[in-house]
Structure 1
Amino acid sequence: MRPSKARTYYLGLCLTYHDPALAIVGPDGGVLFAEAAERRLQSKRALNAPPDDLFQLPALLQAHCADADEFVVACNWQESRPLHERLARWLGWLSPRGILANAGRRVHAWLEPYQLYHMQAAQHHALKSRLLNLARSLRRDFPGIPVRFRGYDHHLCHAALACYGSPFDTAACAVIDSYGETGSMAFFAYRDGRLRPIAGLEGPQSLGFYYMKLTELCGFDWLGGEEWKVMGLASYGKTDAEVLGWLREMMRVEALGLSTRHDVFFDRLQRLEARRRRPGEAPEAAADLAHTGQQFFTETVHCLLSHLHDREGSDNLAFAGGCALNSTCNGQILESTPFQALYVPPAPTDDGTALGAAWLAYREDHPEQVFEASHLSPYLGSEIPVADIERFARYAGLPVRRLPGPALADAAAGLLAEGKILGWVQGRAEFGPRALGNRSILADPRRAETAERINREVKFRERFRPYAPAILHEHGPDWFEAYQESPYMERTLRFRPEARERVPAVVHVDGTGRLQTVNPEWNPRFHDLLSRFHRLSGVPVLLNTSFNVMGKPIVHSMEDAFGVFLGSGLDALAVGDHLFTKPETPS
């Protein structure tokens, strides 16, 4: 029995073996905190790490839930596992010996058995050890307070984040990723605050697995999240008609599902393996493969979404799952399908299901409450304490100025207009994989050499990878064709021809940019900085990329930020009201 008028806090946990995350929803349904574990751990994707970190969790609970009368703990997977996974574990296929031997039945899937069974084994381990740290923390710091546990269908958690966080009252919802409890896709109708399942795919067919395989064939590591590299490389290639024909033979759309041609699948897969980028070859050697693979992915997703529109009828689409991170595909949805409006949440992959699960639990307990459509803020993560900033200002031994109010934006805009590269850390961290003006590296987009310099001296990554334009929302239609708001940097659009030469550092080789539209209501300080840069330069655009180096998550602490600042070619670092510069950087 719930305590009368209890102050109930909802703790959402992503228990997936990759991208674990924690979210806290308050008694009024508001989001108090949401963050992926990789940030604090500074370990990319935080593989096989728990979301309820034993050292961070107590401080978070005291900061956000000190007056709790009750907790509801909501998880992003149902506790019972599907039959095929239990059978594989019983047969020993999920054991280290089974994985080493590549044991198990070869199914018509894009990945090898050892890869599939490693994922299942890692997921089994993640669920087996679920909530141990949380239980200890609650027992010590909140003794006697009731705790209720719930587990939700994985794809339903994705859908909850996409729909409850969207500006829509009604929508069709698509969840497309690598796998859930029994399959890789699910489709929902959203109306009156309720989600209704309308279709789902069971079996090993998976667009997520397909893109993992494409990443591997292009010479990159999907386990490390390098699908981004395929998207960037794709623009340098052209369509290989033979490869595209093989892909279309291997997997095709049937209504709201995918089918595999068993008679040709492994033969075509072997032919694709022959096109694999070899060790030592430059990434550009796989450009045609990346381009063709991306083309097939996009046409397949758009076909599924068109069928969803025919089935559900709503002109609004809420889109989530790992495949919703493909900004190239997202940017063409409104042109290539009947949908008129698109919402992709800031964390569409598994970290976002932590918040989706917490919201599902809250709404289950408040079935009569009317929820107004809103726009989910991405700024839900940790904030660097002022004391840490002041400590570095005192002991770093570098030039530093405290510039409160608009003075910091003035000084930062001036440095950017002079061609300096700036680390920009403000307020709470973004929830999701993209820096949206609070944990960003910023630069002047007018200089063509800027992107190459950042790749070479700051990010230490491949030169073919593009950078994103952050643009003042009010200027978007003047710079992009078929302009759409993109608050979370979730879609790629085409620059207008007359605009491309003005900002060459953020125009990809195919004339596109994965933009972030900046609105003063969503991020007033970043909007102010952009506005001041616009007044100095005549350009309402900044180059914006995540504050990290290749292979590492976005910075979390003051120590992380200073490590990148001092160990790279960054010229200046703005944290809170403090502006740090290097001795050779004019102040």
Structure 2
Amino acid sequence: MLTLGYSGLDRGAALKRAILGDGWRREQRIVQGLDAAAALVDETGVLAAAAQERYDGDKGTGRFPRDAIDACLRAAGATMRDVEVVAHGFRYEPSPVWQLDHLSAQWYQQVYAQQVQRDVFHAHYPADPAGPRFAHVPHHEAHAASSYYLSGFAEALVVVADGMGEQESLTVFEGRGPELRRVASYPILASLGILYSVLTHYLGFQVGMDEYKVMGLAPYGDRQRHRATFDEFVQLKPDGGLAVPLLSANKSPMERETHQGVLRRLEEKLGPAREPDAELGQHHMDVAAAGQDALERALLHVLGEYRRRTGLRRLCLAGGVALNCTANGAILHSGLFDEVFVQPAAGDDGAALGAALYAARQARPAAPTGMAMPYWGDELTGPDVAAALRDLGPEFTTHRLPTDRLVAEVVTLIGRGATVALAQGRMEFGPRALGNRSILADPRSPTMRAHLNNVVKQREEFRPFAPAVPREDAATYFDVPPGTESAFRHMLMVTGVRAPFRDRLPAVTHVDGSARVQVVERESAPLFWALLRETGRRTGLPVLVNTSFNLRGQPIVRTAVDAVATYARSTLDALVVGDVLVTRTGREATA
């Protein structure tokens, strides 16, 4: 049985533009249903998954994921007639809520209604009596399924936190065997995700895109300076209760579209909002720190209560808030749970995967199985690589090398200060590059972080980079508690760099001594693992900088053509695409 899941709310972005007009460009991403993606599963597990942005170049797009769906079907050698169920990761029901005002009615009638979304699907794949059955999966059920059914846990507490599902912002589930059961849910006016996104806007960043910048900025600030104010914004109630009264500051329909009421209240309490191109000051860092602190305390408050009620010692997380790696690390180190699993595509792209898994388990109940690495996207093949390299000019040199030579050459280049892009195998699913579409560099270099931020990726200087380390070496260099190594495979946990190595790993050690670690296993990423081990043999530190293979404003590369073209127009020193090493003729490393 093939089950296809997809996410995104096609027509949502267009309606938002129509409502706001061109004068509200920053607010146009305050919209439900972005990060459209597709996933295909069967009884054996996940066959394929990909985000639509990788095909059309529009980062975070909510457009119907036709390209991603077709790619998943191609990967499985299937057509739509082979699919038994198509599952969409939203289920909006008729409700008096949609009659509260004219804008709410527009959203339901033009975007949210189930018939509207079925019409969108059938505009791309015409209705066929022999075709698949259509299923609408509630958004938080999709998120929960995406994490629990891939965790390998026999039972777990499952918590979904995001901006909003259909009518909730945080939902708690019990997972026991094949069953997922709702335990509690929190309304939209208690949304930690919306609060963090509005804080992102207040700090001059892009809503729905740059929340991780707030997370990266927070360690530069003082968590206590604005704590009393954030205690007003986020109120912790008895028995796991949670309220965010700040969100009630949006009074009119237009304020709910733009969060202008909440932003005014933030300015009243914290001073003027930062303009996008303005300098970042200590005040902004302190606000980011207080917001991050409030998020962590609220999550631990809820988790502690439901850990006590259920007695469950394992935790699964999903939803956009679960992409907050610092909060995830705090949860892991809290001691509340023995194991923590975060599905790598925890945002709305992962709702496509969860919708497929939820529908498949409804039809054929089965207990969770542990997932391998999420290398589920398009695959690089030898002919694709050869074709992509064919038109490179004399300013580039190519060498096809056996693996041992390739590893030796790349480690030598990195040791000399080179930045090397790595494009291998199948593309990762989710926002993190995990070795198959990555840029690698030397973490020992005191200038590498600035070089990558300012020259290669052209982004803010304060943003940290992640270290990759072999599983067997992780606990030596980083605060990875024994038995938790698997929690760090997907680069979604922040933890400490062990004190003796902080000065020796300046490119990956954040200002507070932390790092967003990726643990690499030999069986899942043999070339990447070999590069790390050879680096360790030569330098005594089996660690490399790993950042995503893309440039500013560009999704992570997908194909061999994307990889070669991106490398050619970048300042990167070398590219490994398949078994071919590409360098710039006569050029030395620059960092």
TM-score surpassing 0.5? yes
Question: Which residue is 1:219 aligned to?
Answer: 204
After TM superposition, the structure 1 = structure 2 runs for residues 526-541 of structure 1, keeping only pairs within 5 Å, are 526-541=528-543
1:359-392 CA-to-partner distances (Å, cap 9, x unmatched) read: 111112213xx53531342111112343231023
Question: Which residue is 1:239 aligned to?
Answer: 223
Question: Which residue is 1:328 aligned to?
Answer: 326
Whole-Å separation in 2 of the counterparts to 1:262 and 1:505: 38
In structure 2, the gaps of 5 or more residues are: 10-32, 250-261
The one of 43, 48, 52 aligned to 1:37: 52
Q: Does 1:50 align with 2:61?
A: no
The one of 232, 235, 249 aligned to 1:249: 232
After TM superposition, the structure 1 = structure 2 runs for residues 315-394 of structure 1, keeping only pairs within 5 Å, are 315-367=313-365, 370-371=366-367, 373-394=369-390
What is the CA distance between 1:341 and its match in structure 2?
Answer: 1.2
Contact 1:457–1:568 (CA under 8 A) maintained in structure 2: no
What is the CA distance between 1:58 and its match in structure 2?
Answer: 4.3
After TM superposition, the structure 1 = structure 2 runs for residues 369-448 of structure 1, keeping only pairs within 5 Å, are 370-371=366-367, 373-397=369-393, 398-448=396-446
SS of aligned partner of 1:332: helix
Q: Does 1:179 align with 2:164?
A: yes
What is the CA distance between 1:15 and its match in structure 2?
Answer: 2.8
Question: Which residue is 1:466 aligned to?
Answer: 464
Whole-Å separation in 1 of the counterparts to 2:504 and 2:164: 43
1:342-367 CA-to-partner distances (Å, cap 9, x unmatched) read: 11011111111111111111112213
Amino acid at match of 1:42: G
Question: Which residue is 1:308 aligned to?
Answer: 306
Contact 1:11–1:72 (CA under 8 A) maintained in structure 2: yes
Whole-Å separation in 2 of the counterparts to 1:121 and 1:495: 51
What is the CA distance between 1:18 and its match in structure 2?
Answer: 0.3
After TM superposition, the structure 1 = structure 2 runs for residues 196-211 of structure 1, keeping only pairs within 5 Å, are 196-211=181-196
Whole-Å separation in 1 of the counterparts to 2:222 and 2:369: 42
Return closer, same or farther for 1:149/1:569 CA change in 2, 3 Å cut-off: same
Whole-Å separation in 1 of the counterparts to 2:110 and 2:235: 30
Contact 1:426–1:576 (CA under 8 A) maintained in structure 2: yes
Q: State the TM-score, normalized to the length of structure 2.
A: 0.86
Whole-Å separation in 1 of the counterparts to 2:408 and 2:115: 49
Q: Does 1:488 align with 2:487?
A: no
Question: Which residue is 1:107 aligned to?
Answer: none
Amino acid at match of 1:249: E
SS of aligned partner of 1:44: coil
What is the CA distance between 1:544 and its match in structure 2?
Answer: 0.3
Amino acid at match of 2:508: V
Q: Which moved more, 1:75-84 or 1:574-583?
A: 75-84
Q: Does 1:124 align with 2:112?
A: yes
1:451-506 CA-to-partner distances (Å, cap 9, x unmatched) read: 11111111000111000000111111111235342000011001111011111111
SS of aligned partner of 1:371: coil
What is the CA distance between 1:171 and its match in structure 2?
Answer: 0.6
Amino acid at match of 2:273: R
SS of aligned partner of 2:304: helix
What is the CA distance between 1:251 and its match in structure 2?
Answer: 2.3
Amino acid at match of 1:187: V
1:68-101 CA-to-partner distances (Å, cap 9, x unmatched) read: 65521011111525431x214x624565xxxxxx
SS of aligned partner of 2:266: helix
The one of 561, 568, 574 aligned to 1:559: 561
What is the CA distance between 1:545 and its match in structure 2?
Answer: 0.4
The one of 87, 100, 116 aligned to 1:74: 87
The one of 53, 60, 64 aligned to 2:76: 64
Whole-Å separation in 2 of the counterparts to 1:263 and 1:428: 42
Amino acid at match of 2:5: G
Question: Which residue is 2:525 aligned to?
Answer: 523
Whole-Å separation in 2 of the counterparts to 1:250 and 1:507: 31
Amino acid at match of 1:233: L
After TM superposition, the structure 1 = structure 2 runs for residues 50-199 of structure 1, keeping only pairs within 5 Å, are 50-53=64-67, 57-58=69-70, 60-66=72-78, 69-84=82-97, 86-88=98-100, 91-92=102-103, 123-124=111-112, 128-130=116-118, 132=120, 136-137=124-125, 145-199=130-184
Whole-Å separation in 2 of the counterparts to 1:552 and 1:94: 35
SS of aligned partner of 1:381: strand
Whole-Å separation in 2 of the counterparts to 1:445 and 1:44: 28
Amino acid at match of 1:251: V
Q: Which moved more, 1:535-544 or 1:376-385?
A: 376-385
Question: Which residue is 1:288 aligned to?
Answer: 286
What is the CA distance between 1:304 and its match in structure 2?
Answer: 1.2
Q: Does 1:276 align with 2:273?
A: yes
What is the CA distance between 1:194 and its match in structure 2?
Answer: 1.1
Q: Which moved more, 1:312-321 or 1:482-491?
A: 482-491
Contact 2:448–2:507 (CA under 8 A) maintained in structure 1: yes
Please tell me the root mean square deviation across aligned C-alpha atoms, in Å: 2.5
Contact 1:233–1:284 (CA under 8 A) maintained in structure 2: no
SS of aligned partner of 1:33: strand
Amino acid at match of 1:176: A
Q: Which moved more, 1:206-215 or 1:557-566?
A: 557-566
What is the CA distance between 1:581 and its match in structure 2?
Answer: 0.7
Question: Which residue is 2:6 aligned to?
Answer: 13
SS of aligned partner of 1:343: strand
1:21-64 CA-to-partner distances (Å, cap 9, x unmatched) read: 100112x2421101111111111101x311223xx644642441
Whole-Å separation in 1 of the counterparts to 2:566 and 2:82: 42
Amino acid at match of 1:15: G
Question: Which residue is 1:228 aligned to?
Answer: 212
Whole-Å separation in 2 of the counterparts to 1:62 and 1:349: 24
Return closer, same or farther for 1:376/1:81 CA change in 2, 3 Å cut-off: farther
What is the CA distance between 1:330 and its match in structure 2?
Answer: 0.8
The one of 259, 277, 301 aligned to 2:243: 259
In structure 1, the gaps of 5 or more residues are: 1-7, 96-116
Question: Which residue is 2:551 aligned to?
Answer: 549
1:301-324 CA-to-partner distances (Å, cap 9, x unmatched) read: 111111121121111010111100
Question: Structure 1 vs Structure 2: percent identity of aligned residues?
Answer: 36
Question: Which residue is 1:99 aligned to?
Answer: none
Contact 1:52–1:134 (CA under 8 A) maintained in structure 2: no
Whole-Å separation in 1 of the counterparts to 2:246 and 2:418: 56
Contact 2:177–2:368 (CA under 8 A) maintained in structure 1: no
Amino acid at match of 1:538: G
Return closer, same or farther for 1:240/1:62 CA change in 2, 3 Å cut-off: closer
Return closer, same or farther for 1:167/1:129 CA change in 2, 3 Å cut-off: closer
SS of aligned partner of 1:448: coil
Whole-Å separation in 2 of the counterparts to 1:503 and 1:302: 30
Contact 1:15–1:127 (CA under 8 A) maintained in structure 2: no
